[in-house]
C-alpha cells in the first residue's frame, strides 16, 4: 500500500481528509508525505491546509503557540489522527536484507 486516505466527520458538520503517500527517495529510502484537506460540509470543495507555523512562532509562549502558532494542518487534525493513518503505510513497508 503506497497511499492511504481517511475522511473524518466533525461534530460541527465539517469534514477533514488526511492523505498519506509513501514514496522513495535517493538510496531507496522510504518517506511518507502527509496532506490534510478540510471543507465546511459535503457541498463545498476540499481546501488544502498549510503545514507552515505562524511566522513568529519562536517568540510565542507555549500557550500562545498552542492557540495560534501551530500550522493550520495541526490545528485541523491531531497528531494521533495522522499517526493512525500513517501507521498503516509503515506496517506495509518491505524489509530489505
Burial class (CB in 10 A: 0-12, 13-18, 19+), 73: buried
Per-residue model confidence (pLDDT) at position 13: 92
What's the mean pLDDT in 48-69? 91
Q: What is the mean pLDDT of residues 52-72?
A: 90
- Please answer whether residues 22 and 31 qualify as being in contact, where contact means their C-beta atoms are separated by less than 8 angstroms: yes
* Secondary structure class of 81 (helix, strand, coil): helix
Helix (H, G, I), strand (E, B) or coil at 9: strand
Quick: pLDDT tens for 68-89: 899 999 999 999 999 999 887 7
- Check if the beta carbon of residue 42 is closer than 8 Å to that of residue 57: no
Q: pLDDT tier at 97 (50, 70, 90 boundaries)?
A: very low
| pLDDT higher than threshold 50 for residue 29 | yes
Amino acid at each position: 500500500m503506497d497511499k492511504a486516505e481517511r475522511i473524518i466527520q466533525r461534530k460541527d458538520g465539517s469534514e477533514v481528509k488526511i492523505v498519506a503517500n509513501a514514496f522513495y527517495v535517493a538510496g531507496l529510502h522510504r518517506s511518507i508525505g502527509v496532506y490534510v484537506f478540510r471543507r465546511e460540509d459535503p457541498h463545498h470543495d476540499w481546501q488544502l491546509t498549510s503545514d507552515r507555523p505562524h511566522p513568529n512562532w519562536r517568540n510565542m509562549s507555549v500557550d500562545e503557540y498552542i492557540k495560534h502558532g501551530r500550522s493550520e494542518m495541526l490545528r485541523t487534525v491531531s497528531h494521533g489522527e495522522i499517526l493512525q493513518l500513517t501507521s498503516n503505510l509503515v506496517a506495509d513497508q518491505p524489509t530489505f536484507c
